[in-house]
């Protein structure tokens, strides 16, 4: 029998950071907030200031140092805090990169929705032309 997303989420043994704790880490140079959302979501809702945008479809390619698409940020010795809209994509993404060997990974419980609900800072990107 195939596994659905609920089973995958239940099996994802990753650190889930409560939004209140994530808020305290914002601005810490040792932490990279990684926004996994689609660019249209960011245009519509904004983003956490200073976050690094990594579309979910590119994650494995950007994290793997052997990939021609590898991004240097993922080779830095920092903590990576993933987020999406509600915490589902970020939980699965955190599990994936953890399995790939990326250390010090967590995700924000409740995602960007929880961040905004807790009064976290939000910046709007410049409009697309």
pLDDT at position 111: 98
- pTM of the prediction? 0.91
* pLDDT tens-digit readout, 43-94: 999 999 999 999 999 999 999 999 999 999 999 999 999 999 999 999 999 9
Strands 79-83 and 31-35: parallel
Sign of the alpha-carbon dihedral angle for 71, 73, 79, 82:
negative
* pLDDT tens-digit readout, 2-18: 877 676 666 778 899 99
User: For domain 15-117, which architecture applies?
Assistant: 3-Layer(aba) Sandwich (3.40)
Sign of the alpha-carbon dihedral angle for 61, 82, 27, 41:
positive
pLDDT at position 14: 87
Give the residue extent of every domain in the chain. Answer: 15-117
Mean pLDDT to the nearest integer, 34-40: 96
Alpha-carbon span 42 to 105, nearest angstrom: 22
On whether the CB atoms of residues 26 and 125 are closer than 8 A, the answer is no
Using 50, 70 and 90 to split pLDDT, how confident is the model at 1? low
On whether the CB atoms of residues 108 and 87 are closer than 8 A, the answer is yes
Q: Which residues pair with 77 in a beta bridge?
A: none
């Amino acid at each position: 029998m195939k596994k659905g997303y609920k089973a995958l989420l239940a099996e994802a043994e990753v650190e889930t950071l409560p939004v209140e704790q994530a808020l305290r880490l914002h601005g810490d140079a040792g932490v990279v907030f990684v926004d996994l959302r689609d660019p249209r979501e960011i245009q519509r809702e904004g983003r956490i200031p200073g976050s690094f945008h990594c579309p979910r479809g590119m994650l494995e390619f950007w994290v793997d140092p052997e990939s021609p698409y590898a991004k240097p940020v993922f080779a830095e010795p920092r903590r990576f805090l993933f987020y999406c809209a509600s915490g589902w994509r970020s939980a699965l993404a955190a599990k994936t990169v953890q399995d790939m060997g990326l250390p010090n990974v967590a995700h924000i419980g409740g995602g960007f929705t929880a961040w905004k609900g807790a009064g976290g800072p939000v910046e709007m990107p410049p409009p697309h032309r």
